[in-house]
Amino acid sequence: MATTDNIVEVRNLRKTYGSFTALDGVNFDIHRGETFALLGPNGAGKSTTIEILEGYRRRTSGEVAVLGSDPERGGLPWKSQLGIVLQSTGESGNVTVREQLIEFAGYYPSPRDVDEVLAAVGLVDKQKTRIGKLSGGQRRRVDVALGIIGNPQLLFLDEPTTGFDPEARRQFWGLIRSLKAAGTSILLTTHYLDEAAQLGDRAAVIAGGRLVDIGEIDEIGGSEARVPLVRWTDAAGQRHEERTHEPARAVAALVDAASGEPRDVEIVRPTLEDVYLELIREDGIDQENAA
């Protein structure tokens, strides 16, 4: 099933637990060299999908190929080509950054050079520091370093910047972009939609175990979902909004027609987050109450 252009191929993927359906006919590909964002509310099926791709969970039916192999039958040579960065890791706080990388490099047949990895994740100055003494952002860089030390073809990033302050998040984005530029394919899961928009080439939205939409970051949701929204308050204090392909013309018409100057005029161009939330609402998923 796998092709040279796709590093991951998923066809009609289903996973059930008794009468509960966690995944219901999911289909997508991940192209070689791209960053692919898998989005969805809690309980949507993202984690189940990722665990199946990583070979940690068996599917009920469907076809899956990762790096040309079925994950259920992937041996150590196949696993050595994957990099996995979980939300939390169990690295030892009593060893230095360099010591931990050297140990992990020994697990792989063709690891990256430790000095090269230290430079890539910006930890050269911290290489002799014990991991337990690092800041949260620095420890997350260690997580990524351990994920890429084996020179993976595919890197799984699960909520990589949860708990980061804005500056640390943007620094981390730069690191991920550099990994992609070096040829690493990346599967990203995140609840930060601006992060997906900044880093992703394409995105898929999963809700209720089904694939709601998939496409280029700037095209997901369809063209109508990207139509600008004009909002204003009239002289009587009533709030209005109108979707239009010509927002400037709509604002000009408001001024001409108003008995008084309209207040609080806004032109809002939908972001990926706006589109995502609309997709979730249309699918009947309450993100706040999703388990």
Is residue 265 in some structural domain?
yes
pLDDT tops 80 at residue 108: yes
Instruction: Please tell me whether residues 235 and 103 are part of one structural domain.
Output: no
Instruction: Please tell me whether residues 245 and 182 are part of one structural domain.
Output: no
Is residue 7 in some structural domain?
no
Alpha helices in the chain (DSSP H): 46-54, 76-79, 97-105, 114-120, 136-148, 166-181, 193-199, 247-257, 272-282
Cβ contact 149:115 at 8 Å:
no
Instruction: Please tell me whether residues 255 and 197 are part of one structural domain.
Output: no
Q: Tell me, what CATH number does 129's domain have?
A: 3.40.50.300
Instruction: Please tell me whether residues 43 and 139 are part of one structural domain.
Output: yes
Domain range enclosing 169: 31-54+75-216
Instruction: Please tell me whether residues 115 and 255 are part of one structural domain.
Output: no
pLDDT at 98: 96
Is residue 59 in some structural domain?
no
What whole-number percentage of the chain has pLDDT above 70? Answer: 92
Q: What is the layout of strands, in order, in the sheet containing 202-207? A: 82-85, 154-158, 185-189, 35-39, 202-207, 210-216
Domain boundary among 185, 216, 247: 216
> What is d(CA 157, CA 153) in angstroms, rounded to the nearest whole number?
13
Instruction: Please tell me whether residues 160 and 40 are part of one structural domain.
Output: yes
Is residue 22 in some structural domain?
no
Is residue 283 in some structural domain?
no
- pLDDT digits over 66-87, tens only? 999 999 999 999 999 999 988 7
Predicted structure pTM score? 0.82
Instruction: Please tell me whether residues 177 and 261 are part of one structural domain.
Output: no
Number of domains in the chain: 2
pLDDT tops 70 at residue 21: yes
- pLDDT digits over 216-248, tens only? 998 888 877 778 888 888 777 888 888 888 888
